[in-house]
Amino acid sequence: MAGRLELYLIRHGETAWSLSGQHTGRTDLALTAQGEAQARELAPALRGLGFSQVFTSPAWRARETCALAGLGDMAVVEPDLAEWDYGAYEGRRTVDIVVEHPGWNVFHDGCPGGESVAAVAARADRVIGLSAAWTGRVALFSSGQFGACLAARWIGLPVLAAQHLLFGPAHVGVLAANPAHPDMRVLSAWNWACVLATPEPPSGA
């Protein structure tokens, strides 16, 4: 494992708004009781992986998940891991937004008064740039839609491709390189559940 980089991208546990399908960008929600249980159940899966570094979004839901998963003592807040800023669509559901704006897709259109697709891509690329100085296993605690964007950018795809990457609460993705082709980035795991999460609509959170 020495010298080989693996990014363990971990979405926070359930919140009231992730359960209802409301877009949660800058609103600083805590985890639900179910979300806390999901975060605790991450600990056995993550224990023993020997993370060299741990980074977390500044959002309380991500920091709380990190702490309950047993990695809080190592965590450093990285602002670029924050969820999409949904602007005028904060707290709203996609099913309601598309009634007013048919065809709206956050990964294509961004959010009025919030972040554009280009801005989110730039943040994801900055995180990837930082990773050039990391080695070993690194944990990244973030949110649903930004996490999907980061994964898409990791493998060289546009943000729009993130619409195909559902990322459930307290689920894990592993961003790595193909061992036979070290310069080829891959998703070596995606949307892996450490615990059976409560079913919910796909949404940002």
How far is Cα 51 from Cα 195, in angstroms, rounded to an integer? 21
Of 78, 83, 90, 115, catalytic: 83
pLDDT higher than threshold 70 for residue 197: no
pLDDT higher than threshold 70 for residue 108: yes
Q: What is the pLDDT of residues 149-192, one digit of tens each?
A: 999 999 999 999 999 999 999 999 999 999 999 999 999 999 99
Structural domains in the chain plus CATH codes? 6-193 (3.40.50.1240)
* Two tokens, residue 198: 């409560």
Q: What is the pLDDT of residues 54-73, one digit of tens each?
A: 999 999 999 999 999 999 99
How far is Cα 4 from Cα 67, in angstroms, rounded to an integer? 25
163-184 burial, b at 16+ Cβ within 10 Å, e below that, comes to bebebbbbbbbbbbbeeeeeee
Tell me the one-letter amino acid at 202. Answer: P
Q: Residue 200's pLDDT is what?
A: 43
User: Catalytic annotation on 164?
Assistant: no
- C-beta separation of 190 from 138 below 8 A: no
Q: What is the pTM of this model?
A: 0.93
Of 12, 14, 41, 171, catalytic: 12
Where would I find the H helices in the chain?
16-20, 33-46, 60-68, 94-100, 106-109, 117-130, 144-154
User: Catalytic annotation on 108?
Assistant: no
